[in-house]
Homo-oligomer: A and B are copies of this chain.
Amino acid sequence: MLKLTKKVDYALLALSFLSQQEEGQVVNIREVSEAYQIPTEILAKVLQRLSKKGILQSHHAPKGGYSLKKPARNVSILDVINAIDGSVGILSCSDGHEKTCQQIDNCDIRSPLERIQGKIMWLLEDMSLEEFIHSEPTTGGVLHGSINLLGQPR
C-alpha cells in the first residue's frame, strides 16, 4: 500500500551511483549491480527503461555503459517513478479502464482522492534527483522507532 516497487528503488540507487561519477564517465550494469547487490538482469531492464525515457544515455559498445543524460537537477523523482512503473496513481480505478469500476456511478470519494493524489504528485515532481541525493541523513532508527518524520515541517 502506497509502496514503491523494488524496481524504483533500483532505479534510484543506480541514478545515485551514476550521479557520483565524473562528468562524461560511463558505468556499465555490472558495476552498478555489484555496488548494490542487485541482480544484473533486472537492473538491465530498469536502466533500459530509464534510457528509453531520456533519463539515461546509453553507450552501446564495449567499454560502454550508461551515464546521466540530463543534470540531476533536471530530473524529478516523479520522472523516475513514471519511467519505471508507468504512472503514479493512488486511485485503484485510475487505470484508464473505468468501466471496470463498479462504484463509478455514485462514487463519493473520487475527487477527494484526486486531490490527495495531486498533492503527492506535486511533492514528487518538486523534488529533483539532485536534491534527493544530497538529502541530509535522518537520525538512525527513525522508521522503526516511531515514524517521527510525521511532524516534520515541510
B103 to A143, Cβ gap below 8 A? no
**Contact among B118, B137, B143, B150 for A122, CB-based, below 8 A:** B150
A118 and B152 in contact (CB under 8 A), knowing A107-B13, A143-B91?
yes
16 new A-B contacts, CB < 8 A, other than A2-B81, A9-B92, A122-B154, are: A2-B3, A2-B89, A9-B109, A13-B107, A86-B152, A87-B150, A89-B148, A109-B132, A111-B137, A111-B138, A114-B147, A114-B149, A115-B135, A115-B152, A120-B120, A122-B152
Count of residues in A whose CB is under 8 Å from the partner chain:
72
A147 to B117, Cβ gap below 8 A? yes
Where the two chains meet, the residues of A that have a C-beta atom closer than 8 Å to any C-beta of B are: 1-6, 8-9, 12-13, 16-17, 35-38, 77-78, 81-83, 85-96, 102-103, 106-109, 111-125, 127, 132-133, 135-138, 142-144, 147-154
